Amino acid sequence: MARREHQLPNVLRQDGTRPDYYIRYRLRVLNQRTKRFERKEKRHILGYCDEITKREAERVRDRVIAGVNDQVFTLKDQILFGDFVKIYENRHLPALALGPREKYRSLLKNHILPEFESLSLCDIGAELVQGFLNSKKEQGLSWWTRNDLKGIVSGVFTKASDWGYWVSAT
């Protein structure tokens, strides 16, 4: 079983033109080169001093840190998107009819993998996928192709969740 860590950082105040409350905490992330976990410091702004009190900032801190303290990382959580797509292609695509199977392979190879291959599954979020789809619109891809891309990315994450390679943030 993975070792749990407990953090409860102090609420700090940064002075400046618009002072704010913030916390610093550490996350464990996998170094893809060495395949070892490293601790990276993160800074999280809780709110501006003119909008919230210190007590409210402490409540926000408690919510943020609850999520951080609940994280238990394993190597599966940090698998690269490209590596998982290989598993997806071997386990899921053979169950599809020939037409959809070839379309999935083509869209994965030509559009999705060049964008996300080197990222970890846990690093890809809705904002990143939306930016990807918006860039494809600017490149002139049709609505139908962009809809297929969205469906394939969604399907990859659905299978990753079903097979235990990814845990949804929600």
pLDDT score of 169 more than 60: no
Query: Cα(157)–Cα(165) distance, rounded to whole angstroms?
Result: 9
Q: Which residue has the higher pLDDT, 29 or 20?
A: 20
- CATH number of 108's domain: 1.10.150.130
Rounded Cα gap, residues 27 and 23, in angstroms: 13
**Residue 168 maps to a domain:** no
Residues 111, 150: one domain? Answer: yes
CB atoms within 10 A of CB 149: 20
Q: Tell whether the model's pLDDT for residue 64 goes beyond 50.
A: yes
The reported pLDDT for the residue numbered 166 is 75
User: Is pLDDT of 70 > 50?
Assistant: yes
Instruction: Say what percent of the chain tops pLDDT 70.
Output: 85
Please state the domain count of the chain: 2
Residue 39 has pLDDT above 60, yes or no: yes
Partners of 48 in beta bridges: 20
Query: 3-state class of 118 per DSSP?
Result: coil
pLDDT at 112: 95
Q: Are residues 120 and 62 in the same domain?
A: no
Predicted local distance difference test score (pLDDT) of residue 1: 41
Asked whether the predicted pLDDT for residue 33 surpasses 90, the reply is no
Domain interval for residue 43: 12-73
